[in-house]
């Protein structure tokens, strides 16, 4: 056999990975790192008491600590404890949800984080907001998924 | 003894440094992937206008009142704009009613009002009974930030009737 099919390049002093290939690998990893740092969050994964999809927002303000009120497709929850039924309170003519107000008063905070399913109608959100205000909470935030998420 | 003819030095080998950076990245990227979440949450501050609650006063400006109503067909903007032409009496306010079929049209109306009164930050929003949380968030986003810059960052919600 006159010609070698596979030439070994190890004979060269600069054998192995060439600098241009390494540079492009570093570029790629740097881009990946920047994208990850920009879009990923160190918050704990979302833990909802029942399956729900949060609305998507263009805002990028981070959420802080607070008493969590969840409005799922079936139930209302304060810090994970059920505080009423969605169907009942949608039909109810009360302007507030008393169970939510009582649970919030018992916790005695100043800030409420409201996590509502994206299909929750406004009248129910309004009742929960009024309940939180009447319970003495001054800061109410509606939690949404940032559009910058992956 | 100095050499008369210096031989051309080979260029420095960049591979060890590049390899070190690549190795560092290969450690950092999986660590970030393992310790963080791809879902980024954000908080939208909501203010609900209570029936007996007085909102803080606004700085005086040409737009004296601004309210956006959600209707089944679109949006209605009601603005009280102080008249400034020479025939107008002092403090005379013109009530404007603008209709918008979609969010871009609404933002265009609000952009014109913002240009009239750049210091104004507050808008009152009356959602419809059929407005859901996703539509509410999209609307609040649209009221706060337009395509050409910030609009009205303080969105005050009216309670459902």
Neighbours of A81 (CB within 10 A): 11
Q: What is the pLDDT of residue A22?
A: 80
Which has more confidence, B143 or B49?
A: B143
Distance separating alpha carbons of residues B44 and B142, to the nearest angstrom = 13
Mean of pLDDT values over B46-61 = 66
Domain positions in chain A: 56-146
Neighbours of A54 (CB within 10 A): 22
**pLDDT at residue B128 tops 60:** yes
**pLDDT at residue B25 tops 90:** no
**Which residues in chain B (57-116) have CB-CB distances under 8 A to chain A?**
none
Q: Residue B99 has which token pair?
A: 């209709």
ipTM of the complex model: 0.73
Which has more confidence, B106 or A109?
A: B106
Q: pLDDT tens digits for A112-134?
A: 999 999 999 999 999 999 999 88
H helix or E strand, kind and range, residue B135: helix B133-144
DSSP per residue, A49-78: SS-----EES--PPP---EEEEE-SSEEEE
Provide the CATH number for the domain formed by A56-146 in this structure: 3.30.420
Provide the CATH number for the domain formed by B61-157 in this structure: 3.30.420
Which has more confidence, A119 or A147?
A: A119
Contacts of B13 in chain A (CB under 8 A): 14, 19
Average pLDDT, whole number, for chain B?
Answer: 83
A149:B39 CB<8 A = yes
Q: pLDDT tens digits for A37-60?
A: 777 766 666 778 788 888 999 887
DSSP lists the bridge partners of residue A41 as: B37
Nearest-Cα distance to chain B for A111, in Å, is 10
Mean of pLDDT values over A106-110 = 84
Nearest-Cα distance to chain B for A44, in Å, is 7
């Amino acid at each position: 056999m006159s010609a070698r099919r596979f030439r070994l390049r190890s004979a060269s002093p600069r054998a192995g990975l060439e600098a241009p290939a390494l540079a492009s690998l570093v570029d790629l990893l740097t881009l990946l790192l920047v994208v990850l740092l920009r879009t990923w969050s160190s918050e704990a994964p979302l833990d909802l008491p029942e399956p729900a999809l949060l609305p998507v927002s263009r805002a990028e303000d981070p959420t802080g600590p607070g008493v969590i009120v969840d409005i799922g497709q079936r139930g209302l929850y304060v810090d994970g404890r059920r505080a009423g039924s969605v169907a009942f309170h949608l039909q109810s003519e009360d302007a507030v949800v008393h169970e939510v107000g009582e649970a919030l008063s018992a916790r005695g905070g100043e800030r409420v984080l409201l996590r509502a399913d994206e299909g929750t109608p406004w009248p129910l959100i309004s009742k929960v907001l009024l309940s939180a205000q009447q319970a003495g909470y001054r800061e109410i935030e509606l939690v949404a998924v940032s559009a910058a998420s992956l | 003894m100095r050499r008369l003819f210096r031989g051309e030095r080979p260029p420095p080998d960049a591979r060890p440094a590049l390899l070190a950076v690549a190795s560092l990245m290969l450690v950092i990227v999986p660590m970030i992937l393992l310790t963080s979440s791809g879902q980024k949450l954000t908080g939208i501050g909501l203010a609900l206008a209570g029936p007996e609650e007085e909102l803080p006063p606004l700085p005086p400006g040409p737009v004296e009142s601004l309210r956006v109503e959600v209707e089944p067909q679109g949006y209605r903007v009601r603005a009280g704009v102080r008249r400034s032409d020479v025939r107008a009496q002092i403090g005379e306010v013109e009530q404007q009613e603008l209709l918008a079929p979609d969010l871009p049209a609404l933002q265009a109306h609000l952009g014109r009002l913002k240009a009239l009164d750049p210091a104004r930050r507050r808008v009152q929003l009356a959602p419809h009974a059929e407005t859901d949380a996703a539509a509410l968030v999209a609307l609040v986003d649209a009221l706060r930030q337009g395509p050409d810059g910030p609009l009205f960052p303080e969105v005050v919600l009216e309670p459902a009737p």
